[in-house]
Amino acid sequence: MPLSEHDLAAIRLTLELASLTTVLLLVVGTPIAWWLARTRSRLKGAIGAVVALPLVLPPTVLGFYLLVTMGPHGPIGQLTQFLGLGTLPFTFAGLVVASVFYSLPFVVQPLQNAFEAIGERPLEVASTLRAGPWDTFFTVVVPLARPGFITAAILGFAHTVGEFGVVLMIGGNIPEKTRTVAVQIFDHVEAMEYAQAHWLAGGMVLFSFLVLFALYSSRRFKAGLS
């Protein structure tokens, strides 16, 4: 068996983290993307830039500020302590929160593009056929934006699987709790266990390739249709 018990635990943890983060990202990212796609507010530029920040910032910067705000003296830390939840850093929950911030642009941007591509017309048609805003969203917008949702979910999931810096800053390196595959590979390399590192790293390459391959070939398929 080339993978150790610790390796398998890290894989399991990574998949759990990515799945939960993806679900939360779709819930949080959809209204943000909708707002960005539809608003004429002057805040649009500022909010769009904030959402895109994780694309350009070093993960350590993001991790550092999340650590400070979620720590015992930060505003989020004070809130979670007040609610009796303790503090988030170095817990699985803390990792989830950090991942949501870190992968937000990968979900918001495809959704925003999909919503913008729908345009005003189908929404007006639905409204003059008596569909209210929520009704229209679920019966017209979601089906029309389905490729956007699929792209967003895949990118959000894959990007969360691949994160390293933020995980290390927020999660530390606690087996079974915050040690993801990326961190496990780092540990193996530190310990000169190159064979072990190869198995995990190669697996990551294969996984990422398959995800992106699926994504790009389905896009080409769609483009060929229309």
Give the footprint of other proteins on this chain (CB under 8 A): 121-122, 124-133, 135-136, 139-140, 143-144
CA distance 63 to 163: 11
On the 0-12 / 13-18 / 19+ scale of CB atoms within 10 A, 109 is buried
Closer to other proteins by CB, 42 or 130: give it: 130
In order of 91, 136, 146, 217, 219, the CA distances from 114 in angstroms are 35, 15, 8, 18, 13
Closer to other proteins by CB, 5 or 120: give it: 120
Closer to other proteins by CB, 41 or 139: give it: 139
How near is the Cβ of 226 to other proteins at its closest, in Å? Answer: 9
How near is the Cβ of 38 to other proteins at its closest, in Å? Answer: 15
Q: Sign of dihedral through CA atoms 117, 20, 173, 70?
A: positive
How near is the Cβ of 146 to other proteins at its closest, in Å? Answer: 9
CA distance 33 to 31: 5
How near is the Cβ of 122 to other proteins at its closest, in Å? Answer: 6
Residue 180 structure tokens: 């993801």
Closer to other proteins by CB, 45 or 143: give it: 143
